[in-house]
Structure 1
Amino acid sequence: MNKLVFHVDEAKIPPTDVAGTTHVFLYGPKPVRPGTGSVGGPLEVAVRRLAVVVDRKAMDFLSIALAVIAADTYVSRERFSANGWAREFNLDIPLARPEVWHDVAEDLENALNFLSGDRWTLSFRDGGMEPPVKEAIKRLRKHIAIGSADCVRRRMI
């Protein structure tokens, strides 16, 4: 089984790994410690730039989705499946309101099992990313001056 433990604070990622466990920095840039992963680095800023109030449950759902994407991306089917396809995952995900998700964890696991052909186990704990507060959104709106915009410009990357 592949256990992935997610963190929103890089300082809480342990200095060493236990065999079979991968630590992933959620909403963070590339982590400093080798052997760890990261996912969703620019998303915290993107959510703030929406300049709308985001429900805590929506932010939690985004965290769950990022954790699933990370697991599916980081764990090779070829290397980590007994039959060449199905992998086993145990995801430990921090959420802003984990109690809301405990009742639907089994439904999410069943959906992921069906959609991917893998075997998923999800566990949720406190300490997840909180959505931006209204004050931060108001500051951002003032900074962008979205009310005075009269066109959309595409920025080339």
Structure 2
Amino acid sequence: MPEIGAPHKVTHQDGGNDEISLTGLSGLAGESQTPLAHKTSHQDGGTDEISVGGLAGRQIFVPYNAKIADINEADTNKHTLNLETALSETRKIIALIAMTSRVSGSSVFWVYPNEGTTGIDLVATLRYGSTLIIKDATQRLQYSQGFANDDWDLYCFGYVVEI
């Protein structure tokens, strides 16, 4: 035990430099280490971002705010809207935020997300826009009208693409 009143540094190894003797150690612990600059210990030069460049299936949201189709079919069959053309988009479209507006007529407008068999009434459920899943590798949205010759506008408020 150090003497009372002894200088603080004599209570530490190496004359108070607070270093630990590495004598007898081997490997990295026994070698002098030069600290690396902090940023070299991080990806992307220290910006702390994670590079996703090599990952497959990355997705981004593309803001959009416009009418993409004026629909007035002479029947009530299922039809398809080519989203690649309607949105001028060449990347794979995953999902679409859509809303309809009835211009004339009195029926409902149905969409079939992921080209399923059950339709969603856009007038009743998607009045303020909702996300619709697009069937993989199709770039299209299926739809139908409740009555022939009704007039509908279809709007897009953004969509998700794979990059």
Q: TM-score category by the smaller chain?
A: under 0.3
* Length-normalised TM-score, structure 1: 0.20
For the pair shown, the structure with the greater C-alpha radius of gyration is 2
* Length-normalised TM-score, structure 2: 0.19
Using CA pairs below 8 Å that are at least 6 residues apart, which structure has the higher relative contact order?
2
